[in-house]
Structure 1
Amino acid sequence: MTNSAGDVSQKTKQSVMWYSTLPFATHMIRFLNSLLLARILAPEDFGIIGIITVILYYSDTFTDFGFAKAIINREQAPRAVFDTYFAFNLFVSLTILVIFQLNASNIASYFDIPELEAAVQVFTLMVVITAVSAPMKVKMRRELNFKALALIEAFKVAVSISFSLTLALNGYGFWALITAMLVAQTATLIPLSVVTRYVPLPVFSWSLMRDLFRFGKWDFLSGQLQLVANNIDKLIIGKSLGAAQVGFYDKAMGLAKMPHDQISIKIANIAFSTFSRTRQNADELMYYFRRLTATNAVIICPLLAGFAAVAEPFVMLILGDKWAPMITSLVLLCASFAISALANPVESINIASGKIALQTALSLVLTSGLVVSMLAVVSEGIEAVATVVLIFHIARVVFASMLLCFHLRLPLITIVAPLWLPVLASFVMLVTLKVADATALAEHSDLLRLAILIPAGGIIYLTLVWIIPSQDCEFIKRKTVNKLRKLFRKQGPTHV
């Protein structure tokens, strides 16, 4: 490899290490925090948060307009590019803020939830805060500085947990979550500025904007479609079934999606940055694709398969009887986001290698089908909506893989090879645990079932992955062995 390639390799390895392992640790802390909040707050509180977070995600796609990936994909990115990006973000975010301030009462009336008016007015301040932080985060992603991003994310999680738990315990309801998100996002601005040595200025360049627009318009459209796919279900359920059903669905979605967002999406971000830097070299591109795809699958598949296997005793023991209506949806959504995780690296390489228009066209077709299907089945309940989400993500991975094979002229085995072992081992683990739970453990307490199923699932998965040979997963085994050897050497006896 050239020096440049070696630099990319080193930064990619470091990024995967920090941006997957540290977020995994913070994910577990956030997971525990979400369980405590579910005990304290009512499903209706989570329903209100589920609706207003759709507003934030939708607004973020307008402020970003696809320019983040356009900047990462550029060969050169001087300061003027980031300042132009910030100027555009700031203008759009302030416009959106005014629009939602004026229409908050109409939103509350539409959903017939009076509390939404004040919640929307306060929460949309987040749009302006994220506009300030966005160019600094893009700068770090472009430079593959995911270690610092992971540390800042951990800091944000710590601040958020501190505020949310304190306020929830003091009876602030959904305001505990809104306040925590606003304070935590604001608190990250200082470390972001220090690490990047950059303070964004609203200096606008039309020529740079036109250049960013050529790539960004497709990512913007893709972002709109992704937003619809990820959030339209909450709006449809909220309008048709009410805040409580949104709360059940949103909590199931949040639990199932957390490993996906905290690990798989972060690996996909690293993948896009790495693919953008290596897209001119086909061998390097496929080397990183197979390694990042295998790493993603080895981590995500067992987590979500195992969670699906213990969903019923987990919900009843940890969250309580009031959350029982979400169990079936939780199982379906765990399967959905395991499959979504498999699609993420494939879509990233499609976009980074210049097929963003075709990838976006596929997303348009699939998302249109998703919306129509949800509207057709929502009267059947949240389980029917979750089933539609599962079918959507299956279609995503199938069609994204077909596009990748076609435009890079790859055999399908290139995509399947890094996936088959973790998928097979996770499936065997899931079936084994479900059979054991339905037979030998059926009459036991939820606590005992969890105490047996969780370690048993881990042993089954690790054993299968370790004993079954797979060329694409061998590097993970080697690295694990090397890490364990170093650990045992450090802890070994000291000879005088």
Structure 2
Amino acid sequence: MPNSSSLENKTMTGLFWSFMDLMSRGGIQLGLQIIMARLLLPHHFGLIGMIMVFIAISNTLIDSGFSQALIRDKKTTQLDYSTVFYFNLLVSLLAYGILFVSAKFISAFYNEPQLIEIIRVISVVLIINSLGIIQRVKLVKEIDFKTITKVSIFSVVISGLITITIALLGFGVWSLVINMVLTHLIQTVSLWFYSRWIPSVAFSYKSFKKYFGFGSKLLASSIIDTIYNNVYSVIIGKTYSTSQLGYYSNALKFRDFTALSISNAVERVSYPVLSSMQDDENRLKMAFEKIIKTSGFVNFPLMIGLAAVATPTFGILLGEKWLPSVIYFQLLCIAGMLFPIHIINLSILQVKGRSDLFLLIEVIKKVILTVLIILAVLLKTGIIGLIVAAVVNSYISMFVNTYFTGKEVAYSTRKQLNDLLPAFTISCIMGLTVFWVGNMLTMNYIFILAIQIGIGVSIYIVLCKIFKVKELMIIYQIIRNGITTLKPLLKYKKKKQTF
């Protein structure tokens, strides 16, 4: 087992590169999204939003929880990897075939004839993704997020440039379809190049059974979670106009750029690290507490801050035609505040091998969300009411997640709430102030946004220093470690340019 100091340094470096990967890739995709939003119509984004639930469910089925099982296992073999690789590929082919045949029925459900060809083309990403799952898993197990970052940036830049060109030529919704296929194709080819892993011509039923025992419960919970994460798109797409779904879809994408970037960055690094501590209860608990507090410290102000500056941000980046998305975005940000807390608590259950509890928790939370959605529909609250139901569910889910985690690790709901309260309180004070300032100003959107950001950052840092919030120093350390790892690269490039 690696010593505590080296593991912490590796974690800090891994977290930096993981965050750099997600933020740089997300940043490029966000830039692409902004350009595409100006070139295309809400209707085009609505068409893609209608079918993403089917792609998301298929991807979940293809992975089947095997990725997490492989990462958790300390003694994986070439035969194990090869077995999972062939299983993933087989399921992807079956999923593609089912979607190809079902395209007509999905099109009829939404009354959108154009969806038939879109589904049949975009579903190719399922097969492409399945070919790179093991390569990515191996890099994650090694906490080599530097390589993953290179692959991600390269794929989104190349596919993005091609997509913009296609959109300018007037291909409409097909530019979004081609972007999705190209991004995953370039990413998978790059993963094969960097990983150098090649499957053996072998399949082991013993290996399959070993990982399926753990992964099957994660699969069931993931399918439930995926369905409910996309149920809003189905309801809005069926009940309201395609353009309304486009407004919602773009609001969701902008929210997820920050919320999921932070959540996924933390999860990708913390899961393999916490898995390596699974036999040491004290170290596991200490690491768990540190990750929870740091995640809240970063995500709370970002989400509340984004909600506070939503109007000038959308006005500047997307233009007046996208302002109906603002209220959706603000509510989604309030729900997204707790995403990292949800993910880390659930990761602990996976580390402890409690995939049965993982599944039970998902069932409980989705029953609650179903009741909330039914109430919103019966009360005819519209899209706003549906999103408010998601906000309420997010906060109820925190109590459900932390209750069960507290039984596995000595870190109760009350203790987590106490640890998160300082960052939450300071973030709310900052957000309300920034929102009030924005409403008081009547100048150009650019000046309003600049003033709001300056005030928000200043208030948060000053209050954190006054109340001696320790996570401020932890974030500083993560950034410093990341800069330290970048310096040799920058020096090498500079030295190379002198020759």
User: What whole-Å deviation, never above 9, does each CA across 1:5-36 have from its counterpart, x for those lacking one?
Assistant: 55543432221010013422332332222112
Which residue does 1:170 correspond to in 2? Answer: 169
**Structure 1 residue 413: Cα displacement:** 5.4
Residues 129, 188 of structure 2: 8 Å contact kept:
no
**Structure 1 residue 339: Cα displacement:** 1.7
Q: 1:369-448 counterparts in 2 under 5 A?
A: 369-378=368-377, 379-412=380-413, 414-416=415-417, 418-439=419-440, 441=441, 443-448=442-447
1:423–1:320 Cα change, 3 Å: same
Percent identity of equivalent pairs: 24
CA distance in 2, matches of 1:343, 1:459: 28
CA distance in 2, matches of 1:478, 1:198: 34
Which residue does 1:284 correspond to in 2? Answer: 283
Residues 308, 331 of structure 1: 8 Å contact kept:
yes
2:319 maps to 1:312 = no
2:379 maps to 1:355 = no
Which residue does 2:83 correspond to in 1? Answer: 84
Which residue does 2:496 correspond to in 1? Answer: none
CA distance in 1, matches of 2:342, 2:187: 30
Amino acid corresponding to residue 350 of structure 1 in structure 2: L
Normalised to the residue count of structure 2, the TM-score between the two structures is 0.91
2:410 aligns to what SS in structure 1?
Answer: coil
User: What whole-Å deviation, never above 9, does each CA across 1:293-312 have from its counterpart, x for those lacking one?
Assistant: 23322332222111100112
Residues 418, 473 of structure 1: 8 Å contact kept:
no
**Structure 1 residue 401: Cα displacement:** 1.0
**Structure 1 residue 158: Cα displacement:** 1.2
CA distance in 2, matches of 1:24, 1:426: 21
5+ residue gaps in structure 1? 491-496
2:198 aligns to what SS in structure 1?
Answer: coil
Residues 271, 349 of structure 1: 8 Å contact kept:
no
CA distance in 1, matches of 2:297, 2:481: 18
Which residue does 1:493 correspond to in 2? Answer: none
CA distance in 2, matches of 1:480, 1:99: 46
**Structure 1 residue 235: Cα displacement:** 0.7
1:198 aligns to what SS in structure 2?
Answer: coil
User: What whole-Å deviation, never above 9, does each CA across 1:261-301 have from its counterpart, x for those lacking one?
Assistant: 22211211221111111111112212322332233223322
User: What whole-Å deviation, never above 9, does each CA across 1:25-79 have from its counterpart, x for those lacking one?
Assistant: 3323322221121111111111111122222111011111111111111121111
Residues 87, 201 of structure 1: 8 Å contact kept:
no
CA distance in 2, matches of 1:202, 1:320: 54
1:455–1:405 Cα change, 3 Å: same
**Structure 1 residue 366: Cα displacement:** 1.3
Which residue does 1:152 correspond to in 2? Answer: 151
**Structure 1 residue 126: Cα displacement:** 0.6
2:61 maps to 1:69 = no
Which residue does 1:211 correspond to in 2? Answer: 210
CA distance in 1, matches of 2:85, 2:177: 24
**195-204 or 152-161, which deviates more:** 195-204
CA distance in 1, matches of 2:270, 2:189: 27
Residues 342, 398 of structure 2: 8 Å contact kept:
yes
Q: 1:17-416 counterparts in 2 under 5 A?
A: 17-201=16-200, 203-378=202-377, 379-412=380-413, 414-416=415-417
**Structure 1 residue 238: Cα displacement:** 0.8
**414-423 or 398-407, which deviates more:** 414-423
**Structure 1 residue 473: Cα displacement:** 4.7
Count residues in correspondence. 487
CA distance in 2, matches of 1:310, 1:208: 51
**Structure 1 residue 451: Cα displacement:** 2.2
1:419 aligns to what SS in structure 2?
Answer: helix
**478-487 or 6-15, which deviates more:** 478-487
2:132 aligns to what SS in structure 1?
Answer: helix
1:391–1:201 Cα change, 3 Å: farther
**Structure 1 residue 474: Cα displacement:** 3.8
**Structure 1 residue 196: Cα displacement:** 2.0
CA RMSD of aligned residues (A): 2.5
5+ residue gaps in structure 2? 491-499
2:11 maps to 1:12 = yes
User: What whole-Å deviation, never above 9, does each CA across 1:412-469 have from its counterpart, x for those lacking one?
Assistant: 4542455333322221110111222233x1x333232212112221222222223321
1:216–1:438 Cα change, 3 Å: same
